[in-house]
Each structure stands twice: as C-alpha cells, then as structure tokens.
C-alpha cells in the first residue's frame, strides 16, 4: 500500500441483471500481467477480474481507474468499471512494479 490515506476507490456503475456488463480477465503470473494490454470498448461499463496465480500477494493499482487493492496469492478480485472514454489507462502491480505493468486500451 502506498501512504495515501485513501483505501480503495472503485467507481461502480449500476446495471441491472438484464444488461450485465461484459467481463474481462487479467491474470498475474510470475509478477507479470497477461495480457499486458487489455482491450475494452469505450462508453460501456465492464467487469474486470484480476486473477493472481502467483504464490505471493500483489497490489493491483491504477491511478486513472482509481483502483488500489491487494489481491492475495492464488486468488482473484473483481472490479466494476465505469463506462470509460477512449484512451489508455495504465495499471501496475505495486509489489512488483518493475515487471507488473499494463494498460487498458479503451477504444
């Protein structure tokens, strides 16, 4: 965790069951993200699942997405993403910042 007092901000978008958001998955393995560039459609809420396949925890962090959350070893976290404008939204694993980097490519 960094020293910001803020804990976890996830912008949730309300959606009803009938219009469930598409789910996209990122995995963490050997302290790298797969894929390192994940494509998402613009202007649509989405569900993002981050699966940590490593035997150590990772902190999934993205300043533009306002996400900061520890994903324990061999487990996963789910985030509801708001509808995003086209662009590139960087994320990284704060515990292995040298290798764990990626971007959401929204288009």
Binding mask 10-49 for Cu ion (x = CB under 5 A): ----------------------------------------
Burial of 25 (0-12, 13-18, 19+ CB in 10 A): middle
- Binding flag, residue 2, Cu ion (CB under 5 A): yes
C-beta of 5: minimal distance to Cu ion in Å?
Answer: 12
Under 8 Å between Cβ of 79 and 67: yes
Quote the least distance from Cβ 20 to Cu ion, whole Å: 29
Is the separation of the CB atoms in 77 and 61 below 8 Å?
A: no
Beta strand ranges found along 53-100 (DSSP E): 58-62, 67-71, 75-81, 87-93
Regarding 8 and contact with Cu ion (CB under 5 A), the answer is: no
**Given candidates 10, 94, 101, 105, which one binds Cu ion under the rule CB under 5 A?**
94
User: Could you list the residues that contact Cu ion (CB under 5 A)?
Assistant: 1-2, 61, 68, 94
């Amino acid at each position: 965790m960094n020293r910001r007092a803020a804990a976890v901000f996830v912008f949730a978008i309300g959606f009803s069951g009938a219009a469930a958001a598409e789910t996209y998955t990122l995995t963490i393995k050997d302290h790298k993200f797969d894929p390192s560039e994940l494509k998402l459609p613009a202007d649509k809420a989405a569900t993002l699942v981050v699966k940590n396949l490593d035997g150590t925890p990772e902190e999934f962090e993205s300043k533009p997405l306002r996400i900061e959350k520890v994903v324990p070893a061999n487990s996963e976290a789910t985030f509801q993403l708001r509808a995003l404008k086209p662009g590139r939204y960087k994320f990284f694993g704060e515990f292995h910042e040298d290798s764990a980097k990626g971007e959401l490519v929204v288009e």
